[in-house]
């Protein structure tokens, strides 16, 4: 049963927090939302890496390459990182590789700290229920600028997780970030008003924004099962 929860605004801040038993990593636009969606579409395993070059070089036969830089699909990749596009795919039994500007970097940075989950509004209920099995939980925002700067949409999503867990366990200890999140009145509205949202709209990805703000389109709980310096492997524990 969870007894404490806090929020790290960036992966670097997560390193400075007291060690938690479970970490929920959030990059809701567009890393952890497509991750939840890919597993909902049957993907068996996903390797996330920090660079485009690592994704291309490390691709194994049969791997599907997903990713973005500047919001757009890199040359040589099969797909971008649109959750709307991902939701149309039949990925049963397949494996993939994903790299994004912030989210995959955050997952790789946090993986050595403890049990690490890819979390989004898309798998809110499933990921929150998984986290509630652990005594201490840290919600980590991937942020922007190479996972170095505050991201409004990630904090708003983190607030949804704090509020969800708090409803189930109202007496848990809250860190300062979690206290701020608990007081946020309309997290989903805030998610849709960030600077990054404006960029995605300008690139023609308005449907992805609406998709990312929709709760529980996936029951997947993608958990890191292996990691190295610049990669992490995820599998859906809910499917086991």
Q: What is the pLDDT of residue 240?
A: 59
Structure tokens that stand for 148 in this block: 């170095």
Which residue in 207, 196, 215, 116 sits closest to 157, CA to CA? 215
Contact predicate 232/108, CB 8 Å: yes
Residues 229-237 have a mean pLDDT of 96
Q: 4-234, which class in CATH?
A: alpha beta
Contact predicate 223/23, CB 8 Å: no
Residues 141-150 have a mean pLDDT of 93
Does the predicted TM-score (pTM) go above 0.85? yes
Residues 21-48 have a mean pLDDT of 97
239 pLDDT more than 80: no
Q: What is the pLDDT of residue 238?
A: 83
* % pLDDT > 70, the chain: 100
Domain boundaries defined on the chain: 4-234
Contact predicate 133/82, CB 8 Å: no
């Amino acid at each position: 049963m969870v007894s404490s929860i806090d929020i790290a605004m960036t992966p670097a801040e997560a390193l400075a927090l007291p060690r938690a038993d479970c970490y929920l990593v959030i990059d809701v636009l567009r890393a952890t939302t497509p991750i939840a969606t890919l597993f909902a579409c049957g993907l068996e395993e996903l390797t996330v890496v920090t660079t485009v070059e690592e994704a291309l070089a490390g691709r194994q036969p049969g791997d599907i390459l997903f990713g973005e830089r500047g919001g757009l699909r890199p040359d040589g990749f099969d797909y971008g990182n649109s959750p709307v596009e991902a939701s149309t795919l039949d990925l049963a039994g397949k494996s993939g590789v994903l790299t994004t500007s912030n989210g995959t970097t955050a997952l790789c940075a946090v993986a050595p700290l403890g049990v690490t989950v890819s979390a989004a509004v898309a798998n809110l209920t499933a990921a929150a229920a998984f986290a509630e099995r652990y005594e201490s939980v840290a919600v980590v925002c991937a942020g922007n600028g190479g996972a170095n700067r505050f991201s409004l949409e990630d904090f708003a999503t983190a607030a949804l997780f704090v509020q969800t867990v708090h409803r189930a366990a109202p007496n848990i200890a809250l860190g300062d970030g979690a206290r701020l999140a608990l007081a946020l009145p309309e997290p989903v509205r805030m998610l849709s008003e960030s600077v990054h949202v404006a960029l995605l709209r300008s690139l023609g990805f308005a449907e992805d924004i609406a998709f990312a703000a929709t709760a529980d389109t996936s029951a997947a709980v993608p958990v890191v099962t292996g990691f190295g310096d610049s990669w992490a492997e995820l599998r859906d524990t809910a499917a086991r």
